[in-house]
Amino acid sequence: MNYSIPYGKQFISQEDTDAVIEALHSDFLTQGPKIAEFERNFANYIGCNFAVAVSNGTAALHLALLAFGIKKGDRIITSPITFVASANAALYCGAEVYFADIDRDTYVISINSIIQLLKTHPKGYFKAIIPVDFAGYPVNLEEIKTLAHEYDLLILEDACHSPGGYFMDSANTKQNCGNCNFADAAVFSFHPVKHIAAGEGGMITTNDETLYKKLLILRTHGITKENMQLDFPEPEKQGVWYYEMQDLGYNYRITDMQAALANSQLKRAEEGIIKRHEIAKKYRKAFDATSIKIQKYDSNYFNAHHLFVIEVEDRKGLYDHLRECGVFAQIHYIPVHLMPYYRQFGSKEGDFSIAENYYKHCISLPMYPTLTDKEQDYVIEKILTYCCK
């Protein structure tokens, strides 16, 4: 048997295909009814008031920061263990990026390193923080909110890995990732390796109506037909064609075809999470009582399991061995502060020792709803024979 098993993979059903074809045959290829329908359903799924669909997750990060008013000279905080886009979005706004180290066991940004960073700078030095629900592990935003309140920070949750994840807050209430009960806004991605595939696509969620209206305008060039700023004395100059560009926005629109696909995929989101949890449970059981370290498992934190990450002694060896066996594991992530582009701002090896040590040992195993039992058994066997011989 010749296996070829990736770390993540989308699943397109007949229903998904039909939904896209229907959108193709409709009057709208873009800016049609499927977008609003997807936004409504997604807001419902996450449990927030507003959702704005955009062209990808990176555009979602950029627009959210713009709507926060992040500009040149501002400073934001994020985790070094994330996809580069979480940090890049701040650079797009002309802001500077500061990193805080991760937690050794959960791999998400550590509260203590955030406190260290905040305490060693004057109040008001940082404008916003972008916590990332890494691998699907929910950041405790209630704790971050307390700090944000004290230090006047805006919170943008990067929930690209965590639709369907949640944590239990101090009142034992379930807080869905991206519901914005503690954050000012959250972002999601619909890239095919993520939970919900649109081809390319992204979403910003928020409960703040002012922010929501800004996002709608920024998504399409800063153009609007509502709340005109200019006052024309002669009404004949303002026909129904009239619109105003009130801000410098972008073309970050998603198409109706993509929204139709994502909307159809959303119907299987719950099912997908259940499958991911079955897979995670089996991995946990297989690696229990071995030298293999897994991401922290805590019943108060429901991991959405975009990834299943383990740490092993000989990571390079295991990665190469798995490749030879047709198992294409992946490394998430090379710390952002060590990227050549980020080193120009002064960061270097040794700055964030926990993140750097994590990076030396981490490897993401196959994790997607259509991974079969047989395939997972094969992956586990290859890992155990290599690491625990």
Ligand X SMILES: *Cc1c(COP(=O)(O)O)cnc(C)c1O
- With respect to ligand X, which residue has the nearer C-beta, 287 or 333? 333
- With respect to ligand X, which residue has the nearer C-beta, 83 or 378? 83
Q: How far is C-alpha 300 from the chain's CA centre?
A: 20
Contacting residue, 38, 48, 58, 95, with ligand X by CB under 6 A: 58
- Chain positions 118 to 137 lying near ligand X, rule: CB under 6 A, are 132
Contacting residue, 5, 51, 85, 204, with ligand X by CB under 6 A: 85
Q: Does the protein bind ligand X through residue 366 (CB under 6 A)?
A: no
Contacting residue, 57, 138, 272, 335, with ligand X by CB under 6 A: 57
Cβ density class 281-293: b for 16+ within 10 Å, e for less: ebbeebbeeeebb
Task: Select the span of 17-25, 50-58, 70-78, 237-245 touching ligand X (CB under 6 A).
Answer: 50-58
Q: Does the protein bind ligand X through residue 83 (CB under 6 A)?
A: yes
Q: Does the protein bind ligand X through residue 258 (CB under 6 A)?
A: no
Torsion angle, CA of 48/197/166/274, rounded to 10 degrees?
130
**90-to-100, 242, 335 alpha-carbon distances in Å:** 15, 33, 17
Query: Closest separation between CB of residue 91 and ligand X, Å?
Result: 14
Could you tell me how many residues of this chain bind ligand X (CB under 6 A)?
14
Q: How far apart are CA 344 and CA 259, in angstroms?
A: 38
Q: What is the 3-state secondary structure (H, E, C) of 135-151?
A: HHCCCCHHHHHHHHHHH
Torsion angle, CA of 252/159/62/34, rounded to 10 degrees?
10
Q: Does the protein bind ligand X through residue 86 (CB under 6 A)?
A: yes
- With respect to ligand X, which residue has the nearer C-beta, 43 or 60? 60
Helix 373-387 to helix 269-287 angle (10° resolution) is 30
- With respect to ligand X, which residue has the nearer C-beta, 140 or 224? 140
Under DSSP, the state recorded for 349 is T
> Which tokens sit at 337?
């502060």
Q: Does the protein bind ligand X through residue 303 (CB under 6 A)?
A: no
- Chain positions 144 to 173 lying near ligand X, rule: CB under 6 A, are 158, 160-161
Site string for ligand X, 171-200 (x = CB under 6 A): ------------------x-x---------
Task: Select the span of 56-64, 69-77, 96-104, 110-118 touching ligand X (CB under 6 A).
Answer: 56-64
Placement of tokens 């997972």 in the chain? 376
Q: Does the protein bind ligand X through residue 214 (CB under 6 A)?
A: no
Q: What is the 3-state secondary structure (H, E, C) of 51-99?
A: EEEECCHHHHHHHHHHHHCCCCCCEEEECCCCCCHHHHHHHHCCCEEEE
Residues contributing to the site for ligand X (CB under 6 A): 56-58, 82-83, 85-86, 132, 158, 160-161, 189, 191, 202
